[in-house]
Structure 1
Amino acid sequence: MRRNVQVLLLVLSGAGLLHISLLTDVCLRFVKEGLRPALVLSGAVLVLLGLVAAARDGFPYDRRPRAGGRAADGGHHGHDHARGPGIAWLLFFPALSLLFFTPPALGAYTAARETGAPAEEPVRHFAPLPAGSSVPLTLTEFRLRARQDRSRSLEDRTVALMGFVTPARDGGWFLSRLLVSCCAADSRAVKIKVRGAVAPPADSWVRVTGHWRPGPATREVEIDAEMVRPVPEPANPYQDTAPPPTR
């Protein structure tokens, strides 16, 4: 790989990072929101390094030999150190993908293969649910109240949840969210079993309105659905948020 191509790769990689973290929200499909500033800084540094290298060496890179038999790239005895390994050309694919390809967020495939229940911190006190005909809740709060709330605040209340569809092995389906601590690699699934509604397509985002179905603590947390309707995928798919109020 020639030196001018190496410089171009630096600039493209930096531009790709800036594109997904500064100009769009694509970075939230890889890492949590708190890491966005680090990605912006990394992208800016890569672009700056590429521009400095281009200004220092000239662009296209000048490989004319200097006096004394040494090449302009600092090579010795006729060796061309301006070149890198040919396989390095493959690095252009991830660099260009950051600019022109939007990868999907993790979804039903990942959630369906997570068999263990997420760890839950004990909650000593639950605030009363707000008044209203349909209370928006996150999947995490719904699960915690169903498992730990001794006052059974969910009983006889209509709630609204939002997530993506994950098929179940028994033919049913889950409403799911994937939560991350740092990045997509450490994601964990929160799943609520939906009863009484036909499963929409896998990975589609939906809003489910219904009632909590009480059951043994060893059973999956379930909701009896009254209404299921499609919603857009949120900008940050790994943040467990309650659905917005209906108009």
Structure 2
Amino acid sequence: MRRYGPALVLVLCGGAVLRISLFSELYLRYVQQGLRPYLIASGVLLLVLGTVGAVVVGRGTRDEDRHEHADGHDHSHGPRVARLLVVPALALLLFPPPALGSYSAEREAAGYAAQGIGTFPALPEGDPVDLALGEFTSRALYDSGRTMRNRTIRMTGFVTKDDEGTWYLTRLRVSCCAADARADRIEVREAGAPAVDSWVSVTGTWVPKGRLGSDEAWPPVLAATDVRHVGQPENPYEKR
């Protein structure tokens, strides 16, 4: 049975990739939406290779069995470590890792330097205005026209806290996959802190601070008027 180990690992990995990309939206925890076709193709290729490998091993085993019956010796070979490789592949299939959360966000340094300070387009009419956290932080840090002043903003993200108990609305942005994720966070005032890693929708007004593009302007501040618990979005990341 150990001869089938490598083929079994390929099949399990292929099944795991197809599970998160073809039969669900779990792949959005790890990569951008545009990479889905490549994941599906990779999963199918792994399944095909694993199946072909198993067939080849099966034929070779039957030939060896006939040879063993002829000379009376057991010539079976194959490293037992292949069995151990099944464990991570099976874990990936049954228990896919969750999306990045507060731990990843807290590792992101707040090193924002002045870049591209200038005017931004006016916000849409009507309040509240739904914004991505990335757009909010960009406008708060670099918008010389202060287009968010006196406007009611609504954003969705997960909760993080610092050692002093200050809580932040946080969202991770990715260019390609979770490996290049970068955190955007907004300090929330005038509202009690929900549980860390819980997803919330926060409505409030921007509180300007510091000089544009300076360290003092980071992180941006929102005075909350409403905080509501929501489910994790299908795609937990924002695109850079």
Could you tell me the TM-score, scaled by structure 1's length?
0.84
Deviation at residue 18 of structure 1 after TM alignment: 0.7
Q: Contact 1:135–1:160 (CA<8 Å) still a contact in 2? A: yes
Q: 1:168-187 alignment to 2 at 5 Å?
A: 168-187=162-181
Structure 1 unaligned segments of length 5 or more: list them: 71-76, 242-247
Deviation at residue 88 of structure 1 after TM alignment: 2.7
* Higher mean C-alpha displacement, 26-35 vs 168-177: 26-35
* Higher mean C-alpha displacement, 28-37 vs 9-18: 28-37
Residue 189, structure 1, aligned to residue 183, structure 2: yes
Inter-partner Cα distance in structure 1 for 2:84 and 2:105: 31
User: 1:74 maps to what in 2?
Assistant: none
User: 2:147 maps to what in 1?
Assistant: 153
User: 2:130 maps to what in 1?
Assistant: 136
Deviations 1:129-181 (A, max 9, x none): 11112000011111111122222111110010110000122211010011122
Inter-partner Cα distance in structure 1 for 2:233 and 2:58: 45
Q: Contact 1:173–1:193 (CA<8 Å) still a contact in 2? A: yes
Q: 1:48-87 alignment to 2 at 5 Å?
A: 48-58=48-58, 61-62=61-62, 63-66=64-67, 80-81=76-77, 83-84=78-79, 86-87=80-81
Counterpart of 1:52 in 2: which secondary structure?
helix
Structure 2 unaligned segments of length 5 or more: list them: none
Q: Contact 2:117–2:144 (CA<8 Å) still a contact in 1? A: no
* Higher mean C-alpha displacement, 11-20 vs 57-66: 57-66
- 1:29/1:210 CA distance change after superposition, 3 Å: same
Aligned-pair identity in percent equals 46
User: 1:239 maps to what in 2?
Assistant: 238
Deviation at residue 79 of structure 1 after TM alignment: 5.7
Inter-partner Cα distance in structure 1 for 2:238 and 2:61: 46
The structure in which a higher percent of residues are helix is 2
Root-mean-square deviation (CA), in Å?
2.7
Aligned length: 233
Could you tell me the TM-score, scaled by structure 2's length?
0.86
Q: Contact 2:120–2:139 (CA<8 Å) still a contact in 1? A: yes
Deviations 1:65-90 (A, max 9, x none): 539x89xxxxxx97644x12x22322
Counterpart of 1:58 in 2: which secondary structure?
helix
User: 1:39 maps to what in 2?
Assistant: 39
